[in-house]
Structure 1
């Protein structure tokens, strides 16, 4: 059986380019990282993402602030594999960090919690690594994984029932970003966009009465899609309470 020359060319392109494309998804970016100090080595509840206590303890406290990866708050909650480049001191695999804050300086892409920074080191080498203060690293984005956990919608503490509702999403798995959030308006039978307040916080004045139905736009390597969740927050919502969505994104 004979095939047209164009078929051979297409086949050759697939053979040559597919390994390159696959490799590009795993490419590390070279940068620098430092650490910030908290008494317990965890994150800070006053982070620019608006996560509160979640920003201290998620991922075992292995969290960090980023500069350009913050992306006006869209990067909040993203996960990265970070490993340092000092063979005698640094672990080969490195560690996974969750973005919970914004910050930069001294040409760094990451400012890690002390606990996170210590996980870059080989056993018994953390003190030596801390002595450098700033270290060369390489990083790549990886899926967030929260086995057994759904996405939670936390009603931010600044909310005022029933006149002002601010939300932040917790335990978002996968590689996708949340780029828009809408609330269903029962009176007008239409979706209305929430405002991106700051970080990962979305808000709306005079939200709809009754149970809150949401849809949010997910943007990732597979393009964009809308996820719709009806009656996901009760009508008597309370500031500071996180509500289980019974839904999780694909890894």
Structure 2
């Protein structure tokens, strides 16, 4: 009797996994990735936050809620902008003087590129020179893991899932036959790898990466309601239908579905 119950329970678990997979939800657990070694510094901005636009095209980072916890990446980690929007957990290690007691960690979002400086040694000032792995953090996030007086500290980092409030945000810009959209507040793995747009009088149109998380296409979409299909680096896609009404204007921001809302 016990064996029969165990067999039935095992079959039930397999059925649930099968159902979950059939809907296209691969189990994504980036927080279980192994810790890797890097270094970190910080940049001084107002209120300890990064407010400059950065190489990901997000604009005022406080408006997209990344300001205090935005970070720049060195070349090898930035990956030509495809890492924009990704989330990392970082902790200071192996330095009794500079690391905060207990080596607490902080969660950051990639918002910028830390350019190399080959006029300086990679061990002295050229922190972002290839192939160094380096994070240029905000002062606010840096001081959660290390002393403010520290120049550069050794850290460990790992990819984690992005926790976001609300849906993905689509900010439209452009002119005439040039249409551009900035995508922010992306959950799950955070990195957008492909975007399609659909007007109420068109089929689905692939968009090209302009730079960072700015995507564009050469078509006139004025007077049409807009839908978006967004794919992230884990291969998951989510479609937000009729996000922008037919009377949308450049400069407006609209909210769609979230990638982790099953």
Instruction: Give the TM-score normalised by structure 1.
Output: 0.76
Determine whether 1:144 maps to 2:169: no
Structure-2 change in CA distance of 1:139 and 1:45 (3 Å): same
Asked if 1 retains the 8 angstrom alpha-carbon contact of 2:238 and 2:259, the reply is no
Query: Following the alignment from structure 1 to structure 2, what is the Cα–Cα distance between the partners of residues 242 and 40?
Result: 26
* CA deviation map 1:156-212 (0-9, x unaligned): 4xx22x43221111111112532111122555x532211110011001122334011
Asked if 2 retains the 8 angstrom alpha-carbon contact of 1:34 and 1:108, the reply is no
Partner-residue secondary structure (3-state), 2:65: helix
Alignment coverage as a number of residue pairs: 215
Q: Which runs of 5+ in 1 are unaligned?
A: 1-21
Query: Following the alignment from structure 1 to structure 2, what is the Cα–Cα distance between the partners of residues 37 and 82?
Result: 19
* CA deviation map 1:16-58 (0-9, x unaligned): xxxxxx9993311101111112233211332010000136762
Q: Compute the displacement of 1:115 (Å).
A: 1.1
Asked if 2 retains the 8 angstrom alpha-carbon contact of 1:182 and 1:194, the reply is yes
Structure-2 change in CA distance of 1:197 and 1:39 (3 Å): same
Q: 2:51 aligns with which of 22, 39, 44?
A: 44
Asked if 1 retains the 8 angstrom alpha-carbon contact of 2:237 and 2:259, the reply is no
Task: After superposing the two structures, state which structure 1 stretch, 56-65 or 167-176, moved more.
Answer: 56-65
Query: Following the alignment from structure 1 to structure 2, what is the Cα–Cα distance between the partners of residues 59 and 145?
Result: 12
What is the aligned partner in structure 1 of residue 139 from structure 2?
114
Q: 1:193 aligns with which of 196, 206, 209?
A: 206
What is the aligned partner in structure 2 of residue 154 from structure 1?
171
Partner-residue secondary structure (3-state), 2:47: coil
What is the aligned partner in structure 2 of residue 167 from structure 1?
181
Asked if 1 retains the 8 angstrom alpha-carbon contact of 2:189 and 2:232, the reply is no
Instruction: Give the TM-score normalised by structure 2.
Output: 0.73
Richer in helix (by share) = 1
Query: Following the alignment from structure 2 to structure 1, what is the Cα–Cα distance between the partners of residues 77 and 247?
Result: 36
Asked if 2 retains the 8 angstrom alpha-carbon contact of 1:81 and 1:94, the reply is yes
> After superposition, where does 1:230-245 map in structure 2 within 5 Å?
230-245=241-256
Query: Following the alignment from structure 1 to structure 2, what is the Cα–Cα distance between the partners of residues 231 and 143?
Result: 27
- Root-mean-square deviation (CA, aligned residues, Å) is 2.6
Q: Compute the displacement of 1:153 (Å).
A: 0.7
Asked if 2 retains the 8 angstrom alpha-carbon contact of 1:43 and 1:57, the reply is no
Query: Following the alignment from structure 2 to structure 1, what is the Cα–Cα distance between the partners of residues 253 and 170?
Result: 5
Query: Following the alignment from structure 1 to structure 2, what is the Cα–Cα distance between the partners of residues 23 and 52?
Result: 27
Asked if 1 retains the 8 angstrom alpha-carbon contact of 2:51 and 2:67, the reply is no
What is the aligned partner in structure 2 of residue 30 from structure 1?
37
Q: Which runs of 5+ in 2 are unaligned?
A: 1-28, 116-125
Structure-2 change in CA distance of 1:143 and 1:89 (3 Å): same
